[in-house]
Amino acid sequence: MNKQGQKRGPWREVWRRLKQNKAAMVGLAIILILVFSAIFADFIAPYGYDDQDLKARLQGPSMQHFLGTDNFGRDILSRIIYGSRVSLQVGFIAVGIAIAVGGTLGAISGYYGKRLDNVIMRLMDVLLAIPGILLAISIVAALGSGLQNVMIAVGIGSIPGYARIVRSSVLTIREQEFIEAARAVGASDFRIITKHIIPNALAPIIVQSTLGVAGAILSAAGLSFIGLGFQPPTPEWGAMLSTGRNFIRDHWHMTAFPGLAIMITIFGLNLLGDGLRDALDPRLKN
């Protein structure tokens, strides 16, 4: 129990626990650096993402080009920095779409139950039955490639995951007495869902979405790698890998560095996600 009179909201408590977790803080630092470089790419990147220098093609790491250049003589470091923009956008927006659609469906499903629940969840089952990447491939194939379509494709694929998570937490929270208490004072369904259920269901959603961003970035990279996602000259990590593949024998740096960028990003997000899960877990609450 805390000292009395001290103001300590539940979220502050989570932050306090998260701070103690070193791995999570490393993850958070990685994500912050990425977000920072995405926002300020124009200032940080030594070259433009499509500045070609045909005299300096396929150079290994050097003082001019820290991570070397590609087959058009473009600076790989700059492309990776600009690429973080694309990847983070795809990651966050795709997850955003999934949470908005999946979360709403899950909340409705869990709160109202019965037939509506059955219909929604069976639809989700259908979506779940199709392998995620296959679904994304077919959607992109149908809609055409490009940033927007990739985000939609990846987003749709992860809707069922959020719908299920939100539904199951709504189901447990709905049975809590404070929901009944709210009903007893005359609160409407809308107020109960937004004020009482959602704030209490946030914890698992936050964890899932942190891990989900990682998944979305990977899926987008995967799509680009097989040529369905972003088209050159967009500096997308997956697309860079794909191009680099042709030169992998003699110019390892073209694949190694974009690959590392993807790896470190995913690693950071996963560390943060795991840390958040521990920090939000009520069983550890003292």
Q: Which residues bind other proteins (CB under 8 A)?
A: 1-10, 176-178, 180-188, 191, 195-196, 199-200, 285-286
Tell the smallest beta-carbon distance from residue 182 to other proteins (Å): 7
Nearer to other proteins, 191 or 245 (CB): 191
Question: In whole angstroms, what is the distance from residue 187 CA to residue 199 CA?
Answer: 16
Nearer to other proteins, 199 or 227 (CB): 199
- φ, ψ of residue 60 to 5 degrees: the values are -75, 175
Nearer to other proteins, 70 or 117 (CB): 117
Tell the smallest beta-carbon distance from residue 104 to other proteins (Å): 20
User: What's the DSSP call for residue 247?
Assistant: T
Nearer to other proteins, 2 or 129 (CB): 2
- Asked whether the CA dihedral 151, 158, 87, 60 is positive or negative, the reply is negative
Tell the smallest beta-carbon distance from residue 220 to other proteins (Å): 34
Determine contact, residues 34/88, Cβ cutoff 8 Å: yes
Annotate 94-143 with DSSP letters as a single string. Answer: HHHHHIIIIIHHHHHHHHH-HHHHHHHHHHHHHHHHS-HHHHHHHHHHHH
Nearer to other proteins, 3 or 55 (CB): 3
Rounded alpha-carbon distances, angstroms, from residue 173 to 169, 170, 203: 6, 5, 12
Tell the smallest beta-carbon distance from residue 12 to other proteins (Å): 9
Nearer to other proteins, 42 or 180 (CB): 180
> Per this entry, what is the length of the chain?
286
Estimate to the nearest angstrom the gap between the alpha carbon of 20 and the chain centroid.
24
Tell the smallest beta-carbon distance from residue 172 to other proteins (Å): 11
Nearer to other proteins, 22 or 285 (CB): 285
Which two tokens mark 105?
């469906």
Rounded to a whole number of angstroms, the distance between the first and last alpha carbons of the chain is: 7
Helix (H, G, I), strand (E, B) or coil at 257: helix
Question: Can the peptide bond before residue 233 be classed as cis, meaning omega within 30 degrees of 0?
Answer: yes
Question: In whole angstroms, what is the distance from residue 151 CA to residue 89 CA?
Answer: 8
Tell the smallest beta-carbon distance from residue 183 to other proteins (Å): 6
Tell the smallest beta-carbon distance from residue 181 to other proteins (Å): 5
